[in-house]
Amino acid sequence: MSKSADTRAAARTARLGRRVLAACVALGALSGAPASAETLQDALMAAYLNNPQLEAQRAGQRATDEGVPQALSGWRPNVQANASYGKSHRDIASGPEGTTSPLSAEVSVTQPVYTGGRVQNSVDAAEARVRQGRASLAAVEQDVLLSAVTAYMNVLRDLKVVELNRNNVDVLRAQLDASRDRFEVGEATRTDVAQSQARLAGSQSVLLQSEAQLTSSRAAYARIVGRMPGTLEQPPSLPMLPTSEDEALNTAFDRNPTLQAARFADEAASADVRRAKSDLNPSVSVTGSVGYGRDTVAGATESTQAQIAARLNVPLYQSGRVFSQVRQAQALKSQRRIEIVSATRNVEEQVASAWSNLLAARATIESAQQQVRANEIALEGVRQELLVGARTTLDVLDAEQELLNSRVSLVTAVRDEYVAAFQVLSAVGLLNVDTLSLPVAAYDPTTYYDRVRNKWFGYDEAMQ
């Protein structure tokens, strides 16, 4: 080879080194990206305040609260007023005739004295359903917060994966240019160029797929949080977690809201059985009424009357309806008790799954970090060996792909660890505003309940 050819080859080799170095610097810049404005706490607060699923559940809980004042109304008096006025014409052969204007009015009051347990058992069932609804609301809050964390981490992961793939395209494009330069001076074959072209085309396809995944993750974020994500900051350190799987499981048995809801549903079903049986008991009520009447036939006549009476109602036979209702309530009671067993098993599964995912993610992070370090050293060595002819272009391409795969695995494992940690919190029932120390006023379901429990009159226009 002539001296000029050697000079051109050296220049092309230098250009290759500069291109690879630039791509590596771009890759390394990923871990040192500057902090940005939107934090995980911002996303959690927005989801907690604006998520429509959570708002709907809160409205449903307020509707459940109304069951208590409706049940309590069974103790309260029932007041009715009746009035009538009309025209009447009478034509009687042996008596007076003419047109009259009869008028009557009556006010009656009925006060239950003894209901056979119907009212009290209805109140017990309604209050148990309120507690069940609050537990279900807490479960939905946990689901929304967990979804927000997952969406946040998915966007962060996909942003990094897109950036890794984009930089990989740049590296492979530089590799293709270098292969072409080396082919021109006879240091590479057409096969080397074709292999570089194939890897570049493949990396461009993977980049498009990762960008599509990022778009999907951003849309999921907007659905849960209520706005499209901006530039996201790295999440804070993980919250305090149980120290062992056994501790997590014991906490879940006490705190998991889904399991609590199943227990309260069983309490409501027990009250429903007692309520159905109480329809077989006698009841006592007191009724008082005041009436007024006027008739103008044969001269105006007026009358008033007042009465008070105690009424005893003793059910004897109701065509089998009440007995059927008792059997139905007992069957539902059995269903609710079995659902507690099912909910308990689900909690055990959730805790075991979340805990194992957390441990697996942590192990994967350690392994991926070692793999990245080893692949970085291996890639640098293969590139140096390529320059002296000890390696082929395919060896370099394979080493670059292995490094990319290990970096993507590390990014994914970091995301998996964070999500798994919040899954553990959700499974044990500790994923809430207080645990996360969110600077937002927690929704208090007792506020509406306390306002309406003993309310006798009126409704709230603002609730429509």
Does residue 9 have a pLDDT over 80?
no
Of 247-256, 302-311, 391-400, which one has max mean pLDDT?
247-256
pLDDT band at 171 (very low <50, low <70, confident <90, very high): confident
> Which residue segments constitute the domains of the chain, with CATH numbers given?
3-76+115-280+315-454 (1.20.1600.10)
Does residue 22 have a pLDDT over 70?
no
Mean pLDDT of the chain: 86
pLDDT band at 19 (very low <50, low <70, confident <90, very high): very low
Angle (CA) 399 34 144, round 5°: 90
pLDDT of residue 147: 95
d(CA 166, CA 249): 43
d(CA 208, CA 146): 28
pLDDT band at 390 (very low <50, low <70, confident <90, very high): confident
Strand pairing class (88-90; 78-85):
unpaired
The radius of gyration of the chain from alpha carbons, rounded to an integer in Å, stands at: 39
pLDDT of residue 93: 60
Query: 100-115 burial, b if ≥16 CB within 10 A, otherwise e?
Result: beeeeebeeeeebeeb
d(CA 105, CA 304): 9
d(CA 101, CA 98): 10
- Tokens for 185, please give them: 């001076």
3-state secondary structure labels for all residues of the chain: CCHHHHHHHHHHHHHHHHHHHHHHHHHHHHHHCCCCCECHHHHHHHHHHHCHHHHHHHHHHHHHHCHHHHHHHHHCCEEEEEEEECCEEECCCCCCCEEECCEEEEEEEEEEEECCCHHHHHHHHHHHHHHHHHHHHHHHHHHHHHHHHHHHHHHHHHHHHHHHHHHHHHHHHHHHHHHHHHHHCCCCCHHHHHHHHHHHHHHHHHHHHHHHHHHHHHHHHHHHHCCCCCCECCCCCCCCCCCCHHHHHHHHHHHCHHHHHHHHHHHHHHHHHHHHHHCCCCEEEEEEEEEEEEECCCCCEEEEEEEEEEEEECCCCCCCHHHHHHHHHHHHHHHHHHHHHHHHHHHHHHHHHHHHHHHHHHHHHHHHHHHHHHHHHHHHHHHHHHHCCCCCHHHHHHHHHHHHHHHHHHHHHHHHHHHHHHHHHHHHCCCCHHHHCCCCCCCCCHHHHHHHCCCCCCCCHHHC
Residues 6 or more apart from 79 whose CB is under 8 A from it? 107, 108, 109
Summarize the confidence of residues 429-437 as an average pLDDT. Answer: 92
pLDDT of residue 329: 95
Which amino acid appears at position 207 of this protein? L
pLDDT of residue 95: 58
pLDDT of residue 35: 41
Does residue 399 have a pLDDT over 50?
yes
pLDDT of residue 172: 83
Summarize the confidence of residues 439-455 as an average pLDDT. Answer: 92
pTM of the model: 0.82
Indicate the range of 130-144, 183-197, 342-356 predicted with least confidence: 183-197
- Tokens for 447, please give them: 């506020």
The residue that leads in pLDDT, 394 or 26, is 394
pLDDT band at 5 (very low <50, low <70, confident <90, very high): very low
d(CA 229, CA 158): 12
Percent of the chain with pLDDT over 90: 62
Indicate the range of 5-9, 182-186, 315-319 predicted with least confidence: 5-9
